[in-house]
A and B are shown apart, each in its own frame.
Chain A
Amino acid sequence: MLKARGVTRKFGGLVAVNNVDFEIPRGSISAIIGPNGAGKTTFFNVIAGIYAPTAGTIELDGKKLISPPTGAGREPILLVLPTIPFIALAIYFLMAVGGDTGLVEGVASVAVALLGFVSALLLNIVRPAWYNRFIKRIGVTRPARPNDMVAAGLARTFQNIRLYKSLTTLENILVGMHVHLRGTLLGALFKTRQVREEEAAAEQRARELLSFVDLAGMENELASNLPYGKQRLLEIARAIASRPKLLLLDEPAAGMNPKETEEMTALIRRIRDDLGITILLIEHDMRVVMGISDHITVLDHGEKIAEGLPKEIRNNPKVIEAYLGRGAAAGH
């Protein structure tokens, strides 16, 4: 499902993630563990498209989505080249008019040149698929942005919860459903039937999602007014609202009491079993990790030091050393 090959990310001289190969089978629950500062969250951010990798590629469902950016030097050409014919047209027009240029001709030629520039600019910003294919041919690649990854079927939560605090829980979920809604600016202005029906259906589905994570009846509650544990649940609900194939959870059980942790574990299982979403999580709580993971990968100092089944990891001397230090591993 997800394949990472040789992923490296440097911040200046610091190598946060170093040459990590990583694979998640479809329908599994996988975990990344490691001591603080091991590069887990950086790795997550690379997968989610927030940081571009320094080296390496990420594939989702067989599609190569992320690789280091190339050809950045050629990007200005992309803006200038398409503008040239328009400017040429404007100049030709002015020459054809000849002599003393009148007001109308002047304004018209400026408008034509400007139009060329604006369309080149818009293409470069919006980047439709055919444009991306075209620029790839001349050697310009840009890694997928976070929103591209969501469209490709990846959703995530954050270590420090990032909800839209002054929106209601229902609105939070509706934002999460963004990629599956088609409403456009004009559709909203004229409130077309399609838009109205889509909005009604979206609201219905948002309510279902809220009851899926046990937040039914809190539709109109502000996200910031929810207690901590429920904010975590809401963030997960917002992530699965985009109907992902792969869900990244960054420390879902952090700061929770044992009962809440148990509920969270059950919820993660239900997301996999009932919704068929593959799950990758970072977690420090070993009871959670050992309890639900099919597969564990251990990072330390940005490098992968071990991977395997939970029971293999538990007894792996390298892992124990990374967590407890050399002495403890020797004593074992």
Chain B
Amino acid sequence: MTRIADAVTGPFAPVRAFFRRHRSLGIFVGVALLSIALPLLTRVPPFDGIQSTNAWVNAFTTAAIYAMLAMGLNVVIGFAGLLDLGYAAFFALGGYTYALAASPFSGIHLPFWPMLLAGGIVGAIFGVLLGAPTLRLRGDYLAIVTLGFGEIVPITLMNADKFTDGVNGIGGIDKPSIPGILQFTLINPWPMYGLVLVLFTLVMIMIYRLEDSRLGRTWDAIREDELAAESSGVNTVIAKLQAFAVGASIAGIVGVVNAAKITIVTPDQFRFAVSISALAAVVLGGMGNTIGVATGAFIIYLFQSILLKQLNTLVENFNIPVLNQIDFLEFQYVLYGIVLVLMMLKRPQGIFPARRRMREFAPLKIGKGGLK
């Protein structure tokens, strides 16, 4: 409603105008089309030679999980402008919540579906817990505190042997099922693919709605000028807590799904690298642009898990000396570093900049009613 009313032009103008008015429907149709197109694409060369369709679908599922993480982080960083470097902690808390509630380790077997909500609530509670003491911090100070939090959580999980089985983690986590209709299995990736895409659609719709709401404007105002926001009557304390809570609850929900997908959680899955990969996706995609950020996550995940693996086999096949000694999969961290440095130097607003960021970085333009 408050979006910039650009004139819609081009060959598909009526279609685009329709989806601009009904954006939730547009997101639904877009994800649905993409979710059919992607598996089909893996049947054609060169993609069919890389791995089986099932393996591809599995990879897309994981990519979508990373994309949801990136979208959640984007609420905190891109919308409210709070640099959070410990985002993986909430992902971990969601995962362990489900692991404790549905695994042989705890002896409890709660159904999967309500645990999605529980993961979100646990995430939100810890989001508030992290947010509350850091409300007065800005920029680099906030980054350091969140970084610490991001380390504390996996280390606690590692050392609370009795509750979490320490470094071994919790295995044998229950797969979701729809009683009598569908049982998710490790062999068949399709049900999980469907579940993750439905969640992906919901998360994206909700984030877009938040962005356009009174709360979204509040976040914009805080990011732009906190003092002015307070003087406009915004309770910045509550608004920032809400940003933390929304971001963390998304990570919590995604954590539950992730735990159900790979059926094991260990503290090592949630180290700093996860926070950094989500951050790299946000920076690559364009802070503040939800679709851009999701695309950034897809690019990064597929690049590291498919392309680097391909590089390995390629070098092996041609038996190039020296190079065939290298495991390129180890280079994913180098990849994050390169992405962050290159983006900051060459295109700080991201590949798909949010309209607002685009304006911030654009040279001053004189609008139609502007300078006279």
Residues of A that sit less than 8 Å from B by CB? 48, 50, 103-104, 106-107, 114-115, 118, 121-122, 125-126, 145-147, 150-151, 155-156, 158, 162-168, 170-171, 174-176, 178-179, 181, 183-185, 187-189, 191, 195, 199-200, 203, 217-218, 220-222, 224-227, 238, 242
> In the complex the two chains form, is A227's CB within 8 Å of B371's CB?
yes
Q: Can you show 8 pairs from A to B with CB atoms below 8 A apart? A: A50-B227, A125-B238, A147-B234, A166-B359, A183-B213, A188-B212, A199-B1, A225-B366
How far is A310 from B210 in the complex, measured between Cα atoms in Å?
A: 50
> In the complex the two chains form, is B1's CB within 8 Å of A104's CB?
no
> In the complex the two chains form, is A238's CB within 8 Å of B370's CB?
no
Residues of chain A lying within 8 A (CB to CB) of residue B135:
125
For B108, B235, B241, which residue has the most chain A Cβ atoms within 10 angstroms? B235
Residues of chain B lying within 8 A (CB to CB) of residue A121:
128-129, 132
The stretch of B13-21, B218-226, B303-311, B334-342 in contact with A is B218-226
| B217, closest chain A residue (CB) | A175
> In the complex the two chains form, is A171's CB within 8 Å of B231's CB?
no
> In the complex the two chains form, is A189's CB within 8 Å of B233's CB?
no
Given A106-B163, A179-B233: A188 in contact with B224 (beta carbons within 8 A): no
> In the complex the two chains form, is A226's CB within 8 Å of B1's CB?
no
Shortest A313–chain B CB gap in Å is 29
| B133, closest chain A residue (CB) | A121
Question: Does B27 touch A at the CB level, under 8 Å?
Answer: no
Shortest A284–chain B CB gap in Å is 22
Residues of chain B lying within 8 A (CB to CB) of residue A181:
214
Question: Does B146 touch A at the CB level, under 8 Å?
Answer: no
Question: Does B323 touch A at the CB level, under 8 Å?
Answer: no
> In the complex the two chains form, is A103's CB within 8 Å of B365's CB?
no
In chain B between 170 and 223, which residues have their CB closer than 8 angstroms to a CB of chain A? 206, 209-210, 212-218, 220-221
| B368, closest chain A residue (CB) | A221
How far is A147 from B218 in the complex, measured between Cα atoms in Å?
A: 12
Residues of chain B lying within 8 A (CB to CB) of residue A188:
209-210, 212-216
| A48, closest chain B residue (CB) | B231
> In the complex the two chains form, is B367's CB within 8 Å of A178's CB?
no
Shortest A66–chain B CB gap in Å is 14
Question: Does B327 touch A at the CB level, under 8 Å?
Answer: no
For B215, B246, B360, which residue has the most chain A Cβ atoms within 10 angstroms? B215
Residues of chain B lying within 8 A (CB to CB) of residue A147:
230-231, 233-236
Residues of chain B lying within 8 A (CB to CB) of residue A151:
233
Given A122-B128, A162-B228, A221-B370: A189 in contact with B206 (beta carbons within 8 A): yes
How far is A179 from B215 in the complex, measured between Cα atoms in Å?
A: 12
From the candidates B105, B106, B214, B370, name the one contacting A225 in the complex (CB within 8 A): B370
Given A104-B106, A175-B217, A188-B210: A221 in contact with B367 (beta carbons within 8 A): yes
Residues of chain B lying within 8 A (CB to CB) of residue A220:
4-5
Residues of B that sit less than 8 Å from A by CB? 1-2, 4-5, 100, 105-108, 125, 128-129, 132, 135, 162-163, 206, 209-210, 212-218, 220-221, 224-225, 227-238, 241-242, 246, 356-357, 359-360, 364-372
Other A-B pairs beyond A162-B227, A164-B224, A217-B369, 18, CB < 8 Å: A48-B231, A125-B241, A145-B235, A162-B231, A163-B228, A164-B229, A165-B224, A167-B217, A171-B217, A175-B218, A176-B232, A178-B217, A178-B232, A183-B213, A184-B215, A199-B2, A199-B214, A203-B2
Residues of chain A lying within 8 A (CB to CB) of residue B4:
168, 220
Q: Which 8 pairs, one residue from A and one from B, show the smallest C-beta to C-beta distance?
A: A188-B213, A150-B233, A179-B233, A183-B214, A162-B228, A146-B230, A164-B224, A175-B221
> In the complex the two chains form, is B108's CB within 8 Å of A238's CB?
no
> In the complex the two chains form, is A221's CB within 8 Å of B2's CB?
no
How far is A242 from B129 in the complex, measured between Cα atoms in Å?
A: 31
How far is A191 from B206 in the complex, measured between Cα atoms in Å?
A: 9
Residues of chain A lying within 8 A (CB to CB) of residue B234:
147, 175, 178
Interface of B is mostly: helix
| B160, closest chain A residue (CB) | A106
Given A106-B163, A203-B2, A222-B367: A174 in contact with B217 (beta carbons within 8 A): yes
Residues of chain A lying within 8 A (CB to CB) of residue B128:
118, 121-122
> In the complex the two chains form, is B2's CB within 8 Å of A107's CB?
no
> In the complex the two chains form, is B220's CB within 8 Å of A225's CB?
no
For B225, B230, B241, B368, which residue has the most chain A Cβ atoms within 10 angstroms? B230
Shortest B162–chain A CB gap in Å is 7
| B237, closest chain A residue (CB) | A125
> In the complex the two chains form, is B224's CB within 8 Å of A156's CB?
no
Given A225-B366, A225-B370: A158 in contact with B125 (beta carbons within 8 A): no
Residues of chain B lying within 8 A (CB to CB) of residue A122:
128, 132
For B224, B228, B230, B357, which residue has the most chain A Cβ atoms within 10 angstroms? B228
How far is A121 from B125 in the complex, measured between Cα atoms in Å?
A: 11
How far is A200 from B359 in the complex, measured between Cα atoms in Å?
A: 25
| B235, closest chain A residue (CB) | A147
> In the complex the two chains form, is B215's CB within 8 Å of A185's CB?
yes
> In the complex the two chains form, is A175's CB within 8 Å of B370's CB?
no
> In the complex the two chains form, is B232's CB within 8 Å of A238's CB?
yes
For B213, B216, B372, which residue has the most chain A Cβ atoms within 10 angstroms? B213
> In the complex the two chains form, is A164's CB within 8 Å of B228's CB?
yes
Shortest B158–chain A CB gap in Å is 17
For A48, A171, A179, which residue has the most chain B Cβ atoms within 10 angstroms? A171
> In the complex the two chains form, is B246's CB within 8 Å of A200's CB?
no
| B202, closest chain A residue (CB) | A189
> In the complex the two chains form, is B371's CB within 8 Å of A107's CB?
no
| B5, closest chain A residue (CB) | A220
> In the complex the two chains form, is A156's CB within 8 Å of B231's CB?
yes
Residues of chain B lying within 8 A (CB to CB) of residue A163:
225, 228
Given A163-B228, A227-B370: A107 in contact with B163 (beta carbons within 8 A): yes
Shortest A187–chain B CB gap in Å is 8
Residues of chain A lying within 8 A (CB to CB) of residue B370:
221, 225-227
> In the complex the two chains form, is A170's CB within 8 Å of B2's CB?
yes
> In the complex the two chains form, is B229's CB within 8 Å of A175's CB?
yes
How far is A168 from B224 in the complex, measured between Cα atoms in Å?
A: 12
For B232, B235, B365, which residue has the most chain A Cβ atoms within 10 angstroms? B232
